[in-house]
A and B are shown apart, each in its own frame.
Chain A
């Protein structure tokens, strides 16, 4: 029944958007992390969405998380422990403005999926009142 499948579709959308929000939080938290587990500065991460069949219709899934290839921000700070021979520190390539825009977009898309789910729940409950 199609209305029940909307739960799966909107659910897949919500899962994907919350993963995107998770990545945004990671990027913002690490906007100044000059080193990480592999010893290199943190690189901005990004989720890749893909449409995937859910029943007859299309849901969303996260194909993977990619790392940004944008050049690192070089900051002149000779006293920093991670500074190179010329006194430059490579800071993460996180663009805070991009991340804020991504955050608002993800949260709006999440809300849209929640609304869709609530609508289909209302319709299903109405369906149960047929003949009463």
Chain B
């Protein structure tokens, strides 16, 4: 029974973790809006969620036969999802690619979806509690 509970709640847990990780990336982008040379970063949420649910990572590990070989790690990742760079539509002269309008909109969107995720999770828990009533 307990493993069924876990199965029912795992999706919400993974989705909320990814949402909060994404919020952290967006906070980094907003904090570095005036840092020369900073490149705005984000994750592709839907593919990241699919991979996290499937338990796979997008990176293919390279086969190594010596400890001196590189592991093929191409960069930072969030829960197995690679952190991508945003495609700039009008980069500034100092090489910064943060577009504040985009970041604010994405952050509001992400926060709303996080709250929605919490609501869905709470409702699922309420359903289960209702089923447990004699």
A residues near B (Cβ < 8 Å) are 1-3, 5-6, 9-10, 12-13, 16-17, 20, 48-51, 54-60, 105-106, 109, 112-113, 115-116, 119-120, 122-123, 126-127, 129-132
A113 contacts B78, CB within 8 Å?
no
Q: Is the interface of B mostly helix, strand, loop or mixed?
A: helix
B20 touches A130 (CB 8 A): no
B35 & A51 in contact (Cβ 8 Å cutoff): yes
By beta carbon, the residue of chain A nearest B114 is: A123
Q: Complex: how many Å from CA A9 to CA B23?
A: 11
A131-B125 in contact (CB<8A) = yes
CB neighbors of A among B1-45 (8 A)? 16-17, 20-21, 23-28, 30-36, 38, 41
B33 touches A9 (CB 8 A): no
Count, chain B residues at interface, CB 8 A: 32
Which of B46-54, B58-66, B115-123 is the interface stretch?
B115-123
State the main secondary structure of chain A at its contact with B.
helix
Supposing A3-B20, A3-B24, A58-B38 touch, asked if A9 and B31 sit within 8 A by C-beta, the answer is yes
A13 with B30, Cβ < 8 A, contacts A2-B24, A5-B24, A50-B35 known: yes
Binding site for A on B (CB under 8 A): 16-17, 20-21, 23-28, 30-36, 38, 41, 76, 78, 100, 104, 107-108, 111, 114-115, 118, 121-122, 125
B23 partner, pick from A13, A109, A113, A123, beta carbons under 8 A: A123
Q: Is the CB of A112 within 8 A of B33?
A: yes
Q: Is the CB of B122 within 8 A of A57?
A: no
Chain B residues within 8 Å of A9, by CB: 24, 27-28, 31
